[in-house]
Amino acid sequence: MPLSPASAGNTSGYASARPELVEEPALSGAKGRAEALRNFCLHPSPAVVQVYLGLGTNLGDRIHNLKRALRLLEPDCGSFACSSVYETPPWGDPDQPPFLNMVVRGQTRLSAAELLRRLKEVETRVGRRPSHRWGPRVIDLDLLAYGDQIVDEPELQVPHPHLHERGFVLVPLADLAPNWRHPALRQTATELLARLPSRETADIERIGTLAEA
């Protein structure tokens, strides 16, 4: 199948609603400014944070699963910039079908904990059922990075603790954001990928963009 150039930075085209990246239009005059200040103090808008999400699927109609998950997440994360889609051999538990993996970048006003909760809700809506760790799944949504924040709680670690060990994450991440820098390891996606043993990337195959896949 002919492949088009790498899709780094392509937007997904599934936007339904963007988070408001721009503040309310300014109210005019001193009274307006005072009211705007009062509103800001009473209801400060949470800051917009850039996030990277990892998607994986190896059950059912895998392309449909990726598209559905992104469509359900867009109201909270804006239009996504998407890596290409890659077919990857199963990692962790080799006795299962191959995965499709991709990485997307979005913007959100949700906290990291709220976003993780939202990812779990969307996994369930797309059809994920409980399975064993690293087992087959209709969709897996991982919060790879939340701005430059480093979180190490029992329920949430960001950057994702295995991000730097996995070809199925680093290949699409380096495709989308080669200069993204890991806030703890201080290395870019390209540098992390170059450090991986070649067996981690040997059988990863680029399928194409989500639109053409």
Q: Strand, coil or helix: what is 131?
A: coil
99 makes contact with ligand A4P (CB under 6 A):
yes
Count of residues interacting with ligand A4P (CB under 6 A): 21
Are 173 and 104 contacting, i.e. CB atoms less than 8 angstroms apart?
A: no
80 makes contact with ligand A4P (CB under 6 A):
no
How many residues does the structure list for the chain?
213
Residue of 56, 73, 74, 52 whose CA lies nearest to 65: 56
40 makes contact with ligand A4P (CB under 6 A):
no
Among 6-14, 21-29, 61-69, 160-168, the segment contacting ligand A4P (CB under 6 A): 160-168
What x/- string results for residues 118 through 157 when contact with ligand A4P is judged by CB under 6 A?
A: ---------------xx-----x-xx-----------xxx
Query: What's the min distance (Å) between Cβ of 14 and ligand A4P?
Result: 20
Distance CA 65, CA 56 (A): 9
Cis peptide before 25 (omega within 30 of 0): no
Beta carbons within 8 Å of 64's beta carbon, 6+ residues apart: none
Q: What are phi and psi of 51, to 5 degrees?
A: -130, 150
Give the residue, chosen from 18, 71, 109, 162, that forms a contact with ligand A4P under the rule CB under 6 A.
162
Query: What's the min distance (Å) between Cβ of 194 and Mg ion?
Result: 25
Give the residue, chosen from 168, 170, 193, 209, that forms a contact with ligand A4P under the rule CB under 6 A.
168
Q: Strand, coil or helix: what is 33?
A: helix
Q: What are phi and psi of 135, to 5 degrees?
A: -85, 180
Beta carbons within 8 Å of 121's beta carbon, 6+ residues apart: none
Q: Which is nearer to Mg ion, 48 or 91 (CB)?
A: 91
Active site residues: 128, 137, 140, 142
- Count CB-CB contacts under 10 A for residue 62: 23
Give the residue, chosen from 101, 107, 108, 209, that forms a contact with ligand A4P under the rule CB under 6 A.
101
**Residue, CB closest to ligand A4P:** 56
Count of residues interacting with Mg ion (CB under 5 A): 2
Beta carbons within 8 Å of 72's beta carbon, 6+ residues apart: 122, 125, 126
Among 13-21, 22-30, 39-47, 90-98, the segment contacting ligand A4P (CB under 6 A): 90-98
Residues making contact with ligand A4P (CB under 6 A)? 56, 88-92, 99, 101, 116, 133-134, 140, 142-143, 155-158, 160, 162, 168
| Sites of contact with Mg ion (CB under 5 A) | 140, 142
